[in-house]
């Protein structure tokens, strides 16, 4: 199956959002502190840096002729500083690199070890709270999360764009497009979700409902896809506003073979228009650490080739922790073998 990476993904998702509600604790940390602390561990950065599709695409985009050379650059959420290093290597006039997590201390050492301390200025703090001495020509950020929007820094990127980007400046990347398709995945659903119906002969189906409500982040093998890829939503980072982080989209999926549909999978494409660079996180593309986000249906759909399931997705940041997501799914199907109409809620925490 295509589900080898599940445990790592669940662990990472949990570590980054342990405080979806703020609770009294010995350290006095808030949910935001937990989020930033989770990104202080080198393991998360190792995973992202080893994602060659992601990192090489950013390098090509940043180092494309005329994009950063001679320009003032801002890197929002710089982490280890890899994107800042690309910009400095591309001939940037100066790079301001903002990071709230403790990984910035290693980034300082990395910048110094690579002799860019005169070009790159590292600033510890939240984007919304720090100050820059000048406006910038280029804003760089790797803000995308699972399901594109989970743990997303897009709100911070919007804030930085509106406050510091010069008129005529560019954002890298500038477009992200979300898609959905339908999957046959009986093996996984049976072993990880329906399994709760009878555990050593006991009814634990209440946990099945919880398992169903959590989108799975994992690798979808291309042969599991049984429909077209349907466009859902495009985010233009040059013009998107904070209000656009709450959105809804309709979809229409047509079966390309006769099969059972157990789930819907989402993925996104990323575009750097000025640099003529794009990459996809879809099942058909090379592996990325984002994998795909899979939403399992309560009951499978028996679809003949050419039959259509239609629906609507509503996505909202969670009220208690806006880096978490509440996703509402409505779908309707009328085929030769059966009909159904259903609503499901999914929670990314």
Tokens coding 159: 């804030």
* Nearest residue to 104 via CA among 52, 149, 39, 54: 39
Q: Which of 151, 187, 221, 258 is catalytic?
A: 151
Catalytic site residue 258?
no
- DSSP-derived letter for residue 69 is T
Cα 134–138–139 angle (5° rounding)? 90
The residue whose two tokens read 């349907």 is 230
The residue whose two tokens read 């743990």 is 151
Measured CA to CA in angstroms, residue 196 lies from 186, 255, 299, 318 at distances of: 15, 29, 15, 27
The runs of H, that is alpha helices, within 6-50 are: 6-16, 31-38, 42-49
Residues 6+ apart with CB under 8 A from 310: 250, 251, 252, 253, 331, 332, 333
Instruction: Say how many CA atoms lie within 13 Å of 165 toward its Cβ.
Output: 22
Catalytic site residue 151?
yes
* Nearest residue to 288 via CA among 81, 50, 60, 83: 50
The residue whose two tokens read 């202080």 is 40
Q: Which of 102, 117, 128, 142 is catalytic?
A: 142
Residues recognised as catalytic = 142, 151
């Amino acid at each position: 199956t295509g589900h080898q990476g599940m445990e790592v993904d669940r662990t990472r998702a949990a570590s980054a959002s342990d405080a979806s509600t703020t609770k009294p604790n010995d350290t006095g940390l808030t949910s935001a502190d937990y989020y930033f602390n989770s990104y202080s561990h080198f393991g998360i950065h190792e995973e992202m840096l080893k994602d060659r599709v992601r990192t090489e695409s950013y390098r090509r985009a940043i180092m494309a002729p005329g994009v950063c050379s001679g320009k003032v650059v801002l890197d929002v959420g710089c982490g280890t500083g890899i994107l800042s290093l690309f910009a400095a290597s591309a001939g940037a006039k100066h790079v301001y690199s903002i990071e709230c997590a403790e990984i910035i201390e290693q980034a300082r050492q990395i910048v110094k070890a690579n002799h860019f301390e005169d070009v790159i200025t590292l600033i510890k703090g939240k984007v919304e709270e720090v100050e820059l001495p000048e406006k910038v020509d280029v804003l760089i950020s790797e803000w995308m999360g699972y399901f594109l929007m989970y743990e997303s820094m897009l709100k911070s990127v919007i804030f930085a764009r509106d406050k510091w980007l010069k008129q005529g400046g560019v954002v890298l990347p500038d477009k992200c497009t979300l898609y959905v398709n339908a999957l046959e995945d009986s093996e996984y659903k049976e072993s990880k979700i329906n399994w709760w119906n009878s555990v050593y002969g006991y009814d634990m189906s209440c946990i099945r409902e919880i398992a169903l409500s959590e989108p799975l982040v994992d690798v979808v093998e291309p042969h599991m896809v049984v429909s077209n890829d349907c466009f859902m939503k495009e985010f233009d980072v040059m013009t998107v506003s904070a209000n656009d982080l709450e959105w809804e989209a309709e979809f229409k999926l047509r079966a390309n073979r006769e099969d059972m549909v157990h789930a819907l999978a989402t993925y996104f494409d990323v575009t750097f228009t000025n640099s003529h660079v794009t990459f996809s996180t879809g099942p058909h593309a090379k592996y990325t650490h984002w994998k795909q986000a899979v939403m399992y249906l309560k009951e499978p759909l028996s679809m003949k080739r050419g039959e259509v399931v239609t629906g609507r997705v509503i996505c909202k940041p969670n009220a208690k922790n806006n880096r978490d997501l509440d996703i509402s799914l409505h779908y309707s199907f009328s085929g030769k073998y059966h009909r159904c109409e259903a609503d499901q809620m999914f929670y990314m925490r």
